[in-house]
């Protein structure tokens, strides 16, 4: 019997040693999905036949070839915003319930060639527009630590699946925090890579004006780094390209940095950070200091400076979607769609320029530091159905909760959300580490050091 919460790296080693067969792995996790998905709302489409076919194909690969595949024998999922030709891609929308992409996204191809076992497509709010996974076509993604609370969004299904032990790793996407938000809600590791680190071809040149990227969600830093290695890379003609890493990201997870200079922000004018989150952040800073690093509070409010640009860019991007029937849209999405339709092209161009110029100033202000520490969210996972409380104030409510995530989509910096204890209500708390542009390796190393000092991945929800 396999451990449903087994690390991807451990499982891969077991399969390579033939201690367990790929077919056994696929069958075990498919059974887990069948049992728990109705409660968690993690998958919108389960690809059982594909998973078994993947497993059977892996069993025919030579040991030499298998050792070269980074995810050999490891089950994974794709978020249902990513194009797949032979599996429906719904975007979480009733308008696209049975839509199939003309081709597979390059990322889907890369992961298919990585030796992993695809279990299916995970739930998302419609077009990834909510920070919780509800509304639209998909069922609500529920938090394995408390099923009345959200798993976060927009990669909520990905996080619910990993936190619930349905598989070890998942692909997510992040246009304003959509990897880090669900990772924070569910007690997971989520990496938003640098802009240009992972191609969006051929689905898009850039998502949401360069705000959006894609990355891994996992239970441990080294598992997330392993998946990022399988995902990373550009294709010719991509509009952005991140600096090549000095070494594979998985190797960075084994490096323990010496003395680093860390900046710290704890406040945003967009939303108040709740006391338990602040207390957890204080405790984490004490650990970083014990590890030999300096932590210096700085007066900077990137969310306040970038908020107006992000709203215009996201609203315009939603309005640009080819929606067959707007009346079928989730009310939150419909509000953004209607508002975005009134934005002029000139306003959009001004917002892009404002975002880039302001981001440049923020990045330059942070350059003296090796990394920045911040809360991931201003409060733990909210109850399903409560975000937003009112449609007319929905945008303000959302940006108040994600005040520390969306700014770094604008700046294009890499960021990682790490588990950081529990609230009194038993919900996960989180801390965010933001790196210099292109320095995923640096924050992965620091995150792995923090994970070692504050072990988490042995904790499991009761399901």
* Catalytic site includes residue 68: no
* Catalytic site includes residue 62: no
Neighbours of 112 (CB within 10 A): 18
Q: Distance of CA 75 to CAs 9, 21, 29, 47, 203, Å?
A: 11, 12, 8, 12, 24
Q: 77, 114, 158, 178: which one is catalytic?
A: 178
Q: Distance of CA 354 to CAs 53, 202, 332, 344, Å?
A: 49, 27, 26, 15
Cα distance between residue 16 and residue 323, in whole Å = 46
Neighbours of 13 (CB within 10 A): 13
Q: Quick one: how far is CA 231 from the chain centroid? A: 13
Are 103 and 202 in contact by the 8 Å Cβ rule? The answer is yes
Neighbours of 98 (CB within 10 A): 7
In this structure, what is the dihedral angle of CA atoms 118, 79, 137, 29, given to the nearest 10 degrees? 30
Q: 154, 212, 268, 316: which one is catalytic?
A: 154
Q: Are strands 117-122 and 146-150 parallel, antiparallel or unpaired?
A: unpaired
Q: DSSP 3-state assignment of 177?
A: coil
Neighbours of 360 (CB within 10 A): 11
- Beta-bridge partners for 173: 214
* Catalytic site includes residue 93: no
Dump strand ranges (E) for 293-334: 294-297
Give catalytic residues, as residue numbers.
79, 154, 178
């Amino acid at each position: 019997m396999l451990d449903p919460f087994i690390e991807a790296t451990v499982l891969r080693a077991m399969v390579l040693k033939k201690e367990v067969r790929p077919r056994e792995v696929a069958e075990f996790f498919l059974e887990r999905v069948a049992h728990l998905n109705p409660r968690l709302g993690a998958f919108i489409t389960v690809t059982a036949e594909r998973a078994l076919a993947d497993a059977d194909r892996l069993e025919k690969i030579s040991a030499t070839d298998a050792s070269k595949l980074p995810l050999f024998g490891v089950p994974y999922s794709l978020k249902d915003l990513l194009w797949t030709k032979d599996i429906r891609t719904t975007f979480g929308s009733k308008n696209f319930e049975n839509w199939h992409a003309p081709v597979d996204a390059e990322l889907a191809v890369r992961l298919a060639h990585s030796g992993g076992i695809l279990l299916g497509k995970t739930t998302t709010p419609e077009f990834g527009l909510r920070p919780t996974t509800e509304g639209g076509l998909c069922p609500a993604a529920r938090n394995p630590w408390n099923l009345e609370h959200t798993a976060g969004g927009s990669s909520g299904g990905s996080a619910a699946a990993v936190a619930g032990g349905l598989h070890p790793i998942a692909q997510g996407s992040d246009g304003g925090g959509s990897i880090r938000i669900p990772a924070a809600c569910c007690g997971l590791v989520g990496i938003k890579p640098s802009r240009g680190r992972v191609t969006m071809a051929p689905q898009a040149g850039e998502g949401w004006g360069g705000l959006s990227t894609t990355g891994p969600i996992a239970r441990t830093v080294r598992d997330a780094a392993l998946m990022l290695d399988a995902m990373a890379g550009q294709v010719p003609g991509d509009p952005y390209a991140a600096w090549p890493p000095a070494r594979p990201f998985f190797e960075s997870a084994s490096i323990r940095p010496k003395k680093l200079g860390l900046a710290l922000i704890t406040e945003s004018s967009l939303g108040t950070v709740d006391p338990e989150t602040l207390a957890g952040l204080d405790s984490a800073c004490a650990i970083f200091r014990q590890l030999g690093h300096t932590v210096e509070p700085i007066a900077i409010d990137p969310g306040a400076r970038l908020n107006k640009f992000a709203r215009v860019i996201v609203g315009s991007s939603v309005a640009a979607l080819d929606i067959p029937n707007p009346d079928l849209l989730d009310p939150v999405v419909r509000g953004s769609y209607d508002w975005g339709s009134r934005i002029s092209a000139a306003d959009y161009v001004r917002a892009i320029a404002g975002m880039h110029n302001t981001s440049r100033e923020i990045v330059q202000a942070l350059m003296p530091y090796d990394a920045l520490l911040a809360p991931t969210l201003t409060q733990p996972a909210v109850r399903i159905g409560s975000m937003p409380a009112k449609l007319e104030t929905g945008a303000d409510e959302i940006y108040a909760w994600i005040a520390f995530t969306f700014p770094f989509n604008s700046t294009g910096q890499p960021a990682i959300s790490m588990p950081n204890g529990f609230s009194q209500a038993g919900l996960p708390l989180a801390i965010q580490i933001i790196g210099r542009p292109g320095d995923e390796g640096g924050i992965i190393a620091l995150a792995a050091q923090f994970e070692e000092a504050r072990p988490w991945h042995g904790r499991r929800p009761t399901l």
